[in-house]
A and B are shown apart, each in its own frame.
Chain A
Amino acid sequence: AQSVTQPDIHITVSEGASLELRCNYSYGATPYLFWYVQSPGQGLQLLLKYFSGDTLVQGIKGFEAEFKRSQSSFNLRKPSVHWSDAAEYFCAVGRSGGSYIPTFGRGTSLIVHP
């Protein structure tokens, strides 16, 4: 069975600082990997995804993530955080198939200080 671990429940950064949110997965084959963002009281929005190919993927809002097979990781990064980036971030792992059920991590809450 697949699983996702987001070891940080909360992350606090200052506006303008760089950001890295950690995600580790467990899956027997090459996974499909995702990062979603959830603003307070809203649904989740896809930030970026990795299916295959280049292990460094670019997403919306200036985010990027790097797939590292040897470390079973898919960490999310942003070089300079804006106050509007304060939100909950979810990593997810998936696979191909019609009856697909994605597995989400518990989320990391990002707090941005001015």
Chain B
Amino acid sequence: NAGVTQTPKFQVLKTGQSMTLQCAQDMNHNSMYWYRQDPGMGLRLIYYSASEGTTDKGEVPDGYNVSRLKKQNFLLGLESAAPSQTSVYFCASSYSKRQDRGSGELFFGEGSRLTVL
């Protein structure tokens, strides 16, 4: 099993450009998440999807949009990229949205490094 796959792994954008980060999971998980990781700030939740067709804002949603049209895919969009969005982005999935249960364990992809010039 591939687990959680993110594409692309690296991307350089100019300010104002748009792009979509793609995430796919093959574990039949119900919940999916997008985090960003910045030095000294840990992992911050951008958006999450408890189930197919639903999405909710996390801690830092401004400047992003998401789409969960299929259970196995969760897309993160940047409509007009800004230098402040330079970061490493991680997608994660879990079987249950209840993260305090064994079935709520997060499984992460390997990350997508985005640089906005």
Q: Do A and B come from one complex?
A: no
Chain A contacts to B: CB under 8 angstroms: none
Chain B contacts to A: CB under 8 angstroms: none
